[in-house]
Structure 1
Amino acid sequence: MDSRLRRWIDRAYERLLRRDIDGSPDHVAIIQDGNRRYARERGDGTAAGHRKGARTTEQVLRWCRELGIEELTLYAFSTENFERPPDEREHLFDLIEAKLRKFADATEIHENEVCIRALGDVDRLPDRVRDAVAYAEERTESYDRFRLNVALAYGGRAELLEAARDTLEAVEAGRLDPAGVDTAEIERRLYARPVRDVDLIVRTGGDERTSNFLPWHANGNEAAVFFCAPYWPEFSKVDFLRAIRTYESREASWRHTRTERAVALVRAVAGSSLVETREVVGRLREQLPRASAEELSAELDIQDGRVD
């Protein structure tokens, strides 16, 4: 297909997708897969694929701001990546160091008050990468308009295991009452970095798995997941908007199901006193979106009529 025609179709589809989207998730997490395959298929070295992928990262940051997304987490280097060939690892470390410093000095990062933070076992990284992490974090630590989390030396199971060990040690040392162990206590020990629940995970490159990525924050929140075929360097704004649409569809389905359950509960307790029924409705209404709460109120009006 002619490249100009392709661009015209993409722009038209992008406008259509934008009209379909009502809102956006607060926190998107992305598994940037396919850099090496992208390079191989073009006869280039692995480094070329990673460089092209880094440019995609810059674009995604802009798209997030346009859509009102407040937090983005990028899976930049997993614990499994330490098993890659030494020359590839060193290139990745060089690229991560350069990008962290570039972001930390970028005018748009400061104009948009982007807070950059690393998640993971950063101590396992080379000194030059740790220095770049410290530089980026220090330069942006006062910002709170948008959060960019870079997962480095990150592994979800390792994170949970370390949190569990830390909690056990606190209990054994008498610093923590076992009865006081709750979700907030565990979250406080997850790489010592507060991260809001993940609403949407995106994975590029065709594989349909989440690769041990943010299991506590994504699985616990029943995050929507969007898998797509394009390699990370090819990931386009249309792909990103399709991911957001997937999140919205899942949210609409979730709200509908939750409302149905709430209405069923009201009907079940309708045989009790009207005061008890109103108590149940009041509690449910606080947990539902406005449209669902209005539907619940309508159901209460019906039950009122039946009692009268």
Structure 2
Amino acid sequence: MKRVRQLASRAYERLLEWELSGTPSHVAVIQDGNRRYARNNGDDATDGHRAGAQTTEQVLEWCQEVGVDELTLYTFSTENFDRPEEENEALFDLLCEKLREFADADRVHDSEVRIRAIGETHRLPDRVREAVEYAERRTAGYDQLHLNIALAYGGRAELLSAARDVAREVDEGALDPDAIDVETVEERLYRGPSRDVDLIVRTGGDERTSNFLPWHANGNEAAVYFCTPYWPEFRKVDFLRSIRTYEHREESWRKTRARRALALVKALGDAEVGEARRVLSRFKDALPSAERQAIEEETDAELEHPAD
């Protein structure tokens, strides 16, 4: 039966791969469930984190296979500092080991993976910061796949820090309040993701994004995929399902844009809807055939009876 399940799982993987037609550029993962996985197996929390590290390596390979450009892993949050010291110290040792191992791995250099840490890394122990600097230095020249490790990261703290920086510069007269825009805020966020997040994946059964990349993900209306397996149990099938969720979200977004544009075209005069027409032309193929036909009929009617 185990052999049959393995064959069925591989067949399902191939089916999902065949069905996929698009890939998110930036995937962010909340790696939840390492400790619960260990507890269920009668192991220590460290054993769960080590099993989770193996899953991380597999996910990196899967991202490369489907063409993801950037992967961000929620590895250690600011709230995790409240966990027992002995547990965190063991996790810090594992982080040091894996960061240096990744930085020296042939597969990382062959695939030109760039490793970066994001978050309040100054709060981490010296040995972890040294391992981070080593990994970043060893992979600094690469650009094929960006791997961001979120360490001592908190989304609210990131936004609060950026807001304080902006307020201080305004108070000092170094920044004009009327000149504040999206770029002003982004320049003051943690050094980190180079792209907006397209897809958030969370394992472990909880359906929340836990203060993760609020500017890059929520502002981009990222698709979200929640699944029940603990992080060490996360399989390629689960990963491919998450990509399918992104595709469905993207399809829904395209339909919404097209329908909004069509409503504007119908409601407003020619001089006011140039952008709406461009959006409609770009996204009309996302609509069902009946709606596309309505658009074509609307266009034909306008050509026969142009607006005064």
Q: Do Structure 1 and Structure 2 share a fold, with TM-score over 0.5?
A: yes
SS of equivalent to 1:28? strand
Check conservation: 1:53, 1:232, Cα contact below 8 A: yes
TM-score normalised per structure 1:
0.93
- 2:5 corresponding residue in structure 1: 6
- The reply on whether 1:46 has 2:45 as its aligned counterpart is yes
Across the aligned residues of Structure 1 and Structure 2, the Cα RMSD in angstroms comes to 2.0
- 2:274 corresponding residue in structure 1: 279
User: In 2, distance between residues paired with 1:290 and 1:178?
Assistant: 39
- 1:128 corresponding residue in structure 2: 127
User: In 2, distance between residues paired with 1:74 and 1:209?
Assistant: 15
Q: Report how far residue 111 of structure 1 moved.
A: 1.1
Q: Report how far residue 238 of structure 1 moved.
A: 0.1
Check conservation: 2:257, 2:279, Cα contact below 8 A: no
User: In 2, distance between residues paired with 1:305 and 1:58?
Assistant: 60
- 1:251 corresponding residue in structure 2: 250
The 3 A distance-change label for structure 1 pair 194 and 53 is closer
- The reply on whether 1:267 has 2:236 as its aligned counterpart is no
Check conservation: 1:29, 1:198, Cα contact below 8 A: yes
Q: Partner letter of residue 109 of structure 1? A: V
User: In 1, distance between residues paired with 2:64 and 2:48?
Assistant: 25
- 1:30 corresponding residue in structure 2: 29
Correspondence 1:150-169 to 2 at 5 A: 150-169=149-168
Correspondence 1:225-240 to 2 at 5 A: 225-240=224-239
SS of equivalent to 1:245? helix
Check conservation: 2:27, 2:200, Cα contact below 8 A: yes
- 2:169 corresponding residue in structure 1: 170
- 1:219 corresponding residue in structure 2: 218
Check conservation: 1:188, 1:194, Cα contact below 8 A: no
Of the three residues 285, 292, 297, the one matched with 1:291 is 285
* Equivalent pairs, count: 302
User: In 2, distance between residues paired with 1:26 and 1:301?
Assistant: 38
- The reply on whether 1:142 has 2:137 as its aligned counterpart is no
TM-score normalised per structure 2:
0.93
Q: Report how far residue 146 of structure 1 moved.
A: 0.9
Check conservation: 2:257, 2:280, Cα contact below 8 A: no
Correspondence 1:189-208 to 2 at 5 A: 189-208=188-207
Q: Deviations over 1:149-184 (max 9, x none)?
A: 000000000000000001111111222111111111
Check conservation: 1:114, 1:146, Cα contact below 8 A: yes
Q: Partner letter of residue 248 of structure 2? A: S
Percentage of identical aligned residues? 61
Q: Deviations over 1:58-77 (max 9, x none)?
A: 00000000000000000000
- 1:242 corresponding residue in structure 2: 241
- 1:19 corresponding residue in structure 2: 18
Q: Report how far residue 188 of structure 1 moved.
A: 0.8
Check conservation: 2:258, 2:284, Cα contact below 8 A: no
Q: Report how far residue 267 of structure 1 moved.
A: 1.2
Q: Report how far residue 141 of structure 1 moved.
A: 1.1
Check conservation: 1:63, 1:237, Cα contact below 8 A: yes
User: In 2, distance between residues paired with 1:34 and 1:23?
Assistant: 28
Check conservation: 1:33, 1:232, Cα contact below 8 A: yes
Check conservation: 1:157, 1:212, Cα contact below 8 A: yes
Q: Deviations over 1:92-123 (max 9, x none)?
A: 10111111111111111111111111010000
User: In 1, distance between residues paired with 2:174 and 2:299?
Assistant: 48
Check conservation: 1:187, 1:194, Cα contact below 8 A: no
The 3 A distance-change label for structure 1 pair 37 and 81 is same
- 1:103 corresponding residue in structure 2: 102
Q: Report how far residue 263 of structure 1 moved.
A: 1.0
SS of equivalent to 1:144? coil
Q: Report how far residue 204 of structure 1 moved.
A: 0.3
Q: Partner letter of residue 145 of structure 1? A: Q
Check conservation: 2:258, 2:279, Cα contact below 8 A: no
